Structures are given as C-alpha cells and as structure tokens.
Structure 1
Amino acid sequence: MFSPEGPRLRELAVQALSSVEHGYDLLAPKFDHTPFRTPDSVLDATTEALRSSGPFDAGLDLCCGTGAGIDVLRQVCRGSVTGVDFSTGMLTVARERARPQGPAVGWVRADARALPFGPVFDLVVSFGAFGHFLPRELPGLFTQVHSVLRPGGRFVFPVVAPPRPGSLTYGMLLGFDAVMRVRNAVRRPPFVMYYRAVRFGDMGRELTRTGLRVELRALPEFGRRRDGSPRVRLVVATRPGAGRSAAGPVDA
C-alpha cells in the first residue's frame, strides 16, 4: 500500500488527528508515495479520452493536490491551466514538481466550495477529491463548478466501480470509514475523508440538479466486471449552451 518513501504510521496518526487542511499540509511531501494519489493508469486513460474530444482552451484542476491532474490538463489544453487547492503544503509541492513543458500553470489557494473565478474554464477535472466532502455539501460544490464553466464547458472526473459487498476491499473501506466516524465524533476539528459517504448515484443526481448534462463514458483500458458493467467510467458533465458537444459514447 505505501512505498518506503511514504509516511510512517506515526505521521499518518498525527495527520488524521489534525484538520483536513493541516493534515494535508503535513502529508504533502510524501503524498505521491501513498495509495491516496490517483494511479497513473487512471490519469493516462483520462488523458486519452479527453484527447479524443479536445483540444480545450482553459482548464482547471479542482482540488489539485500535488498536481497529478495538472499533467492531464497540460496535454489536452492549449490555453491556460490552473490548479486550485486549499492546502498550502500541497500547492507548494505541486509548484516544485510541475513540468516545464506545456502551457504555463497558475496555482490558487482556495476552498472548492467558494471558487474565486468567473465562467472562464472550458474543462474542469478532479481526481480523488470527493471523499473530502460530505453528501450535503455536493449541491454547493457542483454549483461552484457550474459557475466557473463557460457554456459548453465540461466537468470531467473518473469513477471506479464500488467493490462487491463481502470482498476484502469492501471490508477495508467500510472499516476505514467507521474509524473516521468515531474519530470525528470525539475530536474537533473533523477530518473529512470518507471512501463510502459519497455515492455515484447521488453525484449524478446532484450534477443534473445543478443544471449540468451528465453522460458516462467507459474507460476500456480497465475492462468490465462479471456483470458486464465497466470497472472505471468517466463522468462528463456539460454546462448547456454554445460550445462543444458532450464527449464520446455513453455507456451507463
């Protein structure tokens, strides 16, 4: 799960007892050596899917962390690229590790629930951030995304099919969420990081209620489950209006 360069158990304990912001400030130098970082395979598959419907102009990586999604945007955007996160530590590491090739990158420290932008982006991506938002926060979060998209702009993010009940992965995620709930019941400020709190169906409904047109695209690199459903999908939520049409075939 963790490479030798990753955080030790004591470091993880200190981070988990902090606020989300401070915890990720502490984790930032070693974040890329943890399983919390989106795998390169998912980033690469997302890049290829976006290439088939690009290029785009201005791109935003929502909750950019150490900048893994920035590399995706720089390959599919011909204009400006921006990373936004509320962790100063994450943004510092992202700046240090940014590659020199491609469009210039702007880094902004801000809360995703109060984005300091107008409708200036053609593409917004996000990787692995939704576990830091409670279900009741989704409407406000998606309203913010809608507000920064130009007409025809897209909000794109990958989703992995949930593990089957009874599987080892299912048990591990269930146990992790239970530990976090106990921690947040006895200590403040809370550390919001839940793997099972935000459900895919809820996200789709809230995106639609926000006014975005939601379509799904299977990422064929990851194959299908026994029931025939894709293991990994790309959610493409488009703000209606003039501009590009939604990307790719729909695979629900």
Structure 2
Amino acid sequence: MFDPQGPSLRELAVQALSSVEHGYDLLAPKFDHTPFRTPDAVLDAVERELRQLGPFDRGLDLCCGTGAGTEVLRAVCRQRVTGVDFSAGMLAQAAAAARADGLAEAEGVAEAAHPTVPVDLVRGDAFALPFAGSAFDLLVSFGAFGHFLPRERPALFAEAYRVLGPGGRFVFPIGAPPPIRSRAYWMLLGFDAVMKVRNAVWRPPFVMYYRGFGLAEVCAELTRTGFEVSLRELTDLGRRADGSPRARAVVATKPYRQGS
C-alpha cells in the first residue's frame, strides 16, 4: 500500500495516536507517498467534469492538504485559486509544490493545461472559513469528509454555502460502497471499528472514518442547507458488476435568489 518513500509503521502509529491536526503535521512530508492521497485518476475525472460545468473564476479547495485538488482548480479557474487547511505541515508541502510548479512554468516546461493562476494557501477552520460571503464561484474537496462526524456536516455545508456566490458550485467525488462480500468492504468496516475503539480509550481523538459518508444522506443534507443537488457519473473510473458507476461527482449549486 505504501511506496518506499512513504511513512514507516512506527510513524503511522505515532500519527494515529495524535490529534488530527498534529497527526497530519507529522505525516505531511510523506503524505503524497501514501494511499491516503486522492489518486490522480479521480482528480483527472473530476477535472474533466469541471471543464464541462465551467468556466469558473475563483476556486477554493476545502481541506486542501498537500495541494492535489488545488492543481485541479488551477486547470479550470481563470483568476485565483485558494487552498485552506488547518494543518500547517500540509500547507507547507502545498506551498513547496506550488513554488516548484511556478519555477517549472517560468522555465517553460509546465503543461499547457495548468496555466499560471495565482494560488493562496490559508490556514483556517472549515467550520469558520476566513473568507467573506460569496467569495468563490467554485469549491471542491477531495478525501477530507471522513474527518467530519455526521453531526458536524450541517455546519460544514453551511460554510460552503456561505462562501459561494449565487450560481456557485460545490463539487466533490464520492465512491460507490464496496459490495458486502468484497474484501474492501470488510477492510473498511474493520478500520472504522478500530478507530472507534481507539477514540473510546485514547485522547485526543483522531477522527477518520471511511463508511459514514453515504450518498443519499449527504445529498439530503446539502439540500437542507439550500443547495440544488445533481450527480454526474465519473465513468472514466469504470463501472461495477451491476453496471452502476464506481464513482460520481456530487454537484451542489447555490441557487440564484430573487434580488441576488
């Protein structure tokens, strides 16, 4: 699961016994060499959908980590891109990657699909984003929702709604649950069970669950927040045995209101 440049078992254990913030500070230098990073295939599939939904001007990557999603925004936004995360270590890695990308562009070796778009990296709380209302017309997030308990999602979605302008989109991928007879199903079930035991006996808690972010529940919560919700099949990621897509993009649109 980990390449040779990834964290050791001891490093992962230390991270798992830390808080979420401190754990990601520790993991940040090696995060991109772990399976926790969103795969490029998923990033590319979402980018293709965003190109069809755009154009966009100002994009926000919520819980940006080391900046993989920020690069997606740079490919589809015309004016400015912002990444926000509460881990200083992850933001430092994102900043280093952005500097390297800028240097490559200055030397003329960057891909044309990733134009020179200014990037701001901001340390902040997802429940109290440090931005004015209607600051963005696109918001994305990749791989972060397992760090939020179900009871916390209404506040999270309300902040996403607040910082989007009318007509703005909140877009993120969500995978189909693995079949109950698959090894993946039981691996995820076991992981979540271990995390629940860990959090029951150890402080500070480390919130990281894989099975609590169901499509129907999430769409209902987004609708209650005020979004208009639609789904787009990420067919590039393949289909399951029953013909359904392995993943979809949730597209939550902040509607135009009279007088807005």
Please classify the TM superposition score into its range, dividing by the shorter chain length.
Answer: over 0.9
Q: 2:193 aligns with which of 178, 188, 197?
A: 178
Q: Which residue of 1 aligns with 2:169?
A: 154
Q: 1:104 aligns with which of 115, 118, 121?
A: 118
Shift of 1:48: 1.1
SS at match of 2:204: coil
Structure 2: distance between partners of 1:137 and 1:51? 30
Show CA shifts across 1:56-101 (max 9, x none).
0000000000000011000000011000000000000000011214
State the one-letter code of the partner of 2:167.
Answer: G
Shift of 1:166: 2.2
The aligned runs of 1:122-133 (5 Å cut-off) are 122-133=137-148
SS at match of 2:43: helix
Find out whether 1:238 has 2:253 as its counterpart: yes
Q: 2:127 aligns with which of 81, 102, 113?
A: 113
Find out whether 1:217 has 2:232 as its counterpart: yes
CA contact (8 A) 1:134 1:198 kept: no
State the one-letter code of the partner of 1:117.
Answer: F
**What number of residue pairs does the alignment pair up?**
242
Structure 1: distance between partners of 2:208 and 2:53? 32
Structure 2: distance between partners of 1:179 and 1:148? 35
Shift of 1:55: 1.9
Show CA shifts across 1:152-184 (max 9, x none).
000000111110112100111111111101100
Shift of 1:26: 0.1
Percent identical residues: 69
Structure 2: distance between partners of 1:198 and 1:75? 27
Find out whether 1:188 has 2:171 as its counterpart: no
- Pair 197,53 (structure 1): closer, same or farther in 2 beyond 3 Å: closer
Shift of 1:201: 1.5
* TM-score, normalising length: structure 1: 0.94
Q: Which residue of 2 aligns with 1:44?
A: 44
Structure 2: distance between partners of 1:27 and 1:197? 23
Moved over 4 A (4+): none
State the one-letter code of the partner of 1:227.
Answer: D
Find out whether 1:144 has 2:143 as its counterpart: no
SS at match of 1:78: strand
Shift of 1:114: 1.0
Q: In angstroms, what is the RMSD of aligned CA positions?
A: 0.9
Shift of 1:240: 0.1
* TM-score, normalising length: structure 2: 0.91
State the one-letter code of the partner of 1:181.
Answer: K
The aligned runs of 1:51-70 (5 Å cut-off) are 51-70=51-70
State the one-letter code of the partner of 1:66.
Answer: T
SS at match of 2:44: helix
SS at match of 2:197: helix
Shift of 1:113: 1.0
Name stretches of at least 5 consecutive residues in structure 2 with no aligned partner.
106-115
Structure 1: distance between partners of 2:234 and 2:215? 16
Find out whether 1:207 has 2:207 as its counterpart: no
